[in-house]
Amino acid sequence: MFDLNGKNVVYVGAFSGIGYQVAKMLMKKKISHLIVMSRMENMEMLQKLQSENTSVKVTYIQVNLMDHSSMEHAVKQATGVVSNIDVLINGAGVLADKDMETTVGVNLMGMMTMVMLCMPYMDKQQMGHGGIVMNIASVYGLEPAPAFPVYAAAKHGVVGFTRSMGDQQHHQHTGVAFIVVCPGLTTSETILNLREKSMWGQQSYVDEMIETMNKAKQQTPEEVAMNMVKAMEINKTGAVYLANVGQLKEVMPTNYWHM
């Protein structure tokens, strides 16, 4: 079990939905520092988070996940606040298949870049003490998404990257566990106006795909956040979890090829 008490946590993502709820739950775990990296500052949310636990230092750092220099600067600022990072949560997500560059850039490239920039401050062989990297993918990182193939490709990439980095050979040397959580459909702004976000939205047959998504049972951001914290505490490197309608289930991907 991973003890969050006294840990330095960096959360990368928006202040709304799952992001806010997981940050709120972490504040109750007696962590030491919470650093929120987001594109836009939200003073109201920052104040609400700080009020959850005044003994935890909450810091906001602006970051643009489409800009490498912005990410470098953000990590430099973060490590000016804390000497090492114990937990990195990559929670930024964009569903916008019409803009392939942003969809892949934020969901996949930004996440991988952030991991590599933070690793020296997590790796026990460098400046870190070990810890956890948690990446948030999607159920569409496990299954096809016919209406959103670009988003599915990016989220499949998140799962593949996390499983690869979560290999025991990495873990035994770095002390950093990699975990990916794949939420099912969750009540949030992301799933509003789905047809407008699909590159195939002008095709009449896409209506049926969108309708299937709209009819699916949704979960609350609080339910996802609760299961994210649970997965952190389990601390199983390379684990892939499906978080759906309040349940956390480990997924066991099939390996078709062995060296």
Just list the catalytic residues.
Answer: 151
Rounded-to-integer distance, Cα 60 and Cα 118, Å: 16
Structure tokens at 181: 């959580």
Q: Residue with structure tokens 């970051």?
A: 63
Biggest distance spanned by C-alpha atoms of the chain:
55
Structure tokens at 84: 């090492």
Specify whether the CB–CB gap between 36 and 9 falls below 8 A: no
Let me know the angle formed at the C-alpha of 171 by 131 and 59, rounded to the nearest 5 degrees: 20
Give the ranges where 82-200 is alpha helix by DSSP (H): 100-104, 110-118, 149-165, 168-174, 194-197
**What residue type is assigned to position 255 of the chain?**
N
Helix, strand, or coil (residue 72): helix
Among positive and negative, which fits the CA dihedral 215, 221, 224, 226? negative
CA 63, chain centre distance (Å): 15
Specify whether the CB–CB gap between 139 and 189 falls below 8 A: no
> Residue 253 carries which DSSP code?
P
